[in-house]
Amino acid sequence: MSSPSTTAASPAPAIRLERVRFRWRADSPLTLAIDDFRLDAGERVFLHGPSGSGKSTLLSLVGGVLVPEAGDVHVLGTALTPLSAAARDRFRADHVGFVFQMFNLVPYLSLVDNVTLPCLFSRARRDRATSAGGSVADEAARLLDRLGLGLADIHTRRVADLSVGQQQRVAAARALIGAPEIVVADEPTSALDTDHREAFVRLLFEECARHGTTLLFVSHDAALASGFDRTIRLDEVNRP
Amino acid sequence: MMLRLAAKSLWHRRLTASLVVLSIALAVTLLMGVERIRGATRTSFAAAVSGTDLIVAARASPVHLLLFSVFGIGNPTNNLAAATHRDIAARPEVAWTIPIALGDSHKGYRVVGTSAAFFQHFRYGEARALAFQVGGAFAGDDPVILGAAAARALGYRVGDAVVLAHGAGDVSFALHDAHPFRVAGILQATGTPVDRALYVPLQGLAELHRPANDDEADPLAAAMHGHDAAAPEATLTAVFVGLRARNQALGVQRALNEWKGEALTAILPAVTLQELWEIIGVAENALLAVSALAVAVGLGSMLVALLTGANERRREMAILRSAGATPRDVFTLMMGEAGLLALVGVLLGATIVQATFIAGESWLASRYGLTTGGLVPSGRELVSLGLIVIAGILIGAVPAYRAYRQSLADGMTIRL
Ligand SMILES: Nc1ncnc2c1ncn2[C@@H]1O[C@H](COP(=O)(O)OP(=O)(O)OP(=O)(O)O)[C@@H](O)[C@H]1O
Ligand SMILES: [Mg+2]
């Protein structure tokens, strides 16, 4: 199930961009001009490119936070562009988990509440988390434990007291809870030292493999690329 | 759901939040306090004159007349001849009269000369008659009846001898030690100025008014003084009048104002009270405006707190967005915070007012004769409290809309 060969055989791509044009402002040049970009279901893709080349912008398109001025963004077979903003938000909540570079946590929520945040917005992920763990909070605790954060005081622990590496693992648990089909990570390891980077990526791989999750991972750190199924340079597909 | 997040977010910033809540609460306390005192003042002032149709005195401005005759504020201008009182009482429209002689005080409490008619006819509040805690109306030699508050403050009981002096209070050098009054009764509390006065018969007061230094200068004359000596004619300050029919009040008022014997002023107390409120209304409105301003400042401090927070929270909003929150959710979150702050502030303020009035009710009643008129918040109060909460929510719309716009623009891209 987790081997690349089975997922590669899967017919419908998890993410597909076709003839996408995107610019931030009407008077600014195109940031993205992507004619064909696809990720198969279960694939783990390493995306890199120079700073400012539009990697984060691409992830926002995949998440349905942004819409292209032309072209189609299909995620799990659904065309996002025609959807209403609310429907795209709901779609993102249901199907996509996110991890960012730093400061991924909501300061006023407990560790567990931070992890279960997507379950507030997505019934589908709440149901899946509940059936996997008995309750949403139990599933959060289980995920945290598997990510090496089996802290005794996860319910009361202030997130601000966590180390950066621990914070990123909490963010990973949040991206993974309720088993979304796609996990998107935007330079999640750039604040970590080398040892922690590799450990973090390994944990992410393990958890994605469990549910056959498609992983789109953005990083500047080429050393991490080796474990991925595929590596994409953004400037190879993006020609504005 | 977003409200629970809002509550957690506020709890996280509980120091700032509690300062905002406190400033709103204090403003609400001020506003409600002013309103309540004003309401209580009006009710108890109205209660003090509710049973009297006309008040007659020597020519004076109506408000002045009302203030000195009923509330003991200010000094009467001229006296009224006893004959005039008799003429008024003889009018066919007049059901009863209460003669009143003022100008003396005892240890800070008014000494009122009157007749037994006072205890029989005076009505206050909703047509309530005076009642005695102990004792009864004028009886025996030189009786004095105490209002409830005066009795409590002075500690006198029935049978106690009370030395009254003309004019001044304790520090009088003209004390009639030989001529004490005896406490004959103590009235029940009425919540009106009646509570804060001592009542003596007109006759007794007239004797008190005989120049005291005459006695000292001439011991013989003093020795001759006695109750059997010819009583001097009592001078009156005002007459309270009850009519057989209230609709005759205007006619009688006109007749008395055009009285030929001496220059009189007759007032309809309710009407004059209304004039008084119009005068006082300016100051009251100024007080209200200040309180309203305080509420505005309180809500403004909330706006400042929310706006300063908003920039630091762009990242938080982006995280929420990535977890599936819509810009509307972000808006709701910020509105919820404003609403909660305003709501908690208003509730706290209302509680403070309520607690203060419950605790201070008896003090207000005894000290100022104010009855707080029911401790249940009035509909008007509830409406204004509701309006403050709504204003708070509307003000919250400013930072909420900013956060909404920002989260639309930022999406999930988090920039530092
Ligand atoms: N919110 C925004 N408003 C306007 N322009 C933006 C916004 N976000 C990004 N851009 C612009 O779009 C371009 C691509 O930015 P993006 O953040 O996608 O790059 P990136 O590849 O993720 O860079 P990095 O590796 O530094 O994260 C940049 O020129 C940037 O200035
Ligand atoms: Mg980026």
**Mean pLDDT taken over chain B:** 83
- Whether residue B9 lies within 8 A of chain A, CB to CB, comes out as yes
Nearest beta carbon to residue A63 from set B5, B316, B412: B412
Mean pLDDT for the stretch of residues B270-294: 89
Alpha-carbon Rg for chain B, nearest whole angstrom, is 31
Task: List the alpha helices (DSSP H) in B162-313.
Answer: 202-209, 212-217, 219-224, 249-257, 269-312
Beta-bridge mates of residue B236: B80
Tokens at residue B283, please?
């100051």
| Better-predicted residue by pLDDT, A146 or B186 | B186
Between helices A111-121 and A164-176, what is the axis angle to 10°? 30
Tell if the pTM clears 0.80, that is, is over it: no
- Residues B297-334: pLDDT tens digits? 999 999 998 888 777 788 888 889 888 888 889 899 99
Angle at B374 between CA B369 and CA B376, to 5 degrees: 145
Q: Look at the alpha carbons of B165, B166, B169, B170 in this order and tell me if their dihedral is positive or negative.
A: negative
State the average pLDDT over residues B240-255.
91
In short, whether B413's Cβ falls inside 6 Å of ligand 1 is: yes
Alpha-carbon distance of B262 to B251, in angstroms, equals 18
CB-CB under 8 Å, B315 with A98 = no
Q: Is B19 inside a domain boundary?
A: yes
Q: Mark whether B106 and B18 lie in a shared domain.
A: no
CATH code, A93:
3.40.50.300
Q: What percent of chain B has pLDDT over 70?
A: 86
Total domain count, chain B? 2
Q: How far apart are the C-alpha atoms of B9 and B338, rounded to whole Å?
A: 11
**B87, B198: one domain:** yes
pLDDT greater than 70 at residue B79: yes
pLDDT at position A8: 44
Nearest CA to ligand 1 atom 6: A24
Domain membership of residue B191 as a residue range: 54-267
Measured in angstroms, how far is the CA atom of residue B335 from the centroid of ligand 1? 30
Ligand 1 centroid from CA A54, angstroms: 5
Q: Which of B319, B324, B413 sits opposite A89 (nearest CB)?
A: B324
Question: Which residue among B316, B324, B329 sits closest to A106, beta carbon to beta carbon?
Answer: B316
| Mean pLDDT computed over A215-234 | 92
CB B322 within 8 A of CB A100: yes
Residue A21, in any domain of the structure: no
Instruction: Let me know if residue A10 belongs to a domain.
Output: no
Mean local confidence (pLDDT), B88-107: 90
How many other C-beta atoms can be found within 10 angstroms of the C-beta atom of residue B328? 14
Tell me the residue range of the domain where A49 lies: 43-64+82-232
Chain A residues near residue B318 by CB distance under 8 angstroms: 100
**Which residues, 6 or more positions from A98, have their beta carbon under 8 angstroms from its beta carbon?**
A59, A63, A175, A183, A184, A185, A186, B322, B323, B412
* B219 and B305 together in one domain: no
Domains identified in chain A, total number: 1
| Higher-confidence position of B219 and A239 | A239
Asked which of A27-36, A97-106, A139-148, B174-183 is least confident by mean pLDDT, the reply is B174-183
Residues of A in contact with B13 (CB under 8 A): 108
Closest-CA residue of chain A to B9: A108
* pLDDT category of residue B280 using cuts at 50, 70 and 90: confident
Domain for residue A70, yes or no? no
CB contact under 8 A, A113 and B8: yes
ipTM attached to this prediction = 0.86
DSSP-derived secondary structure letter, A238:
B
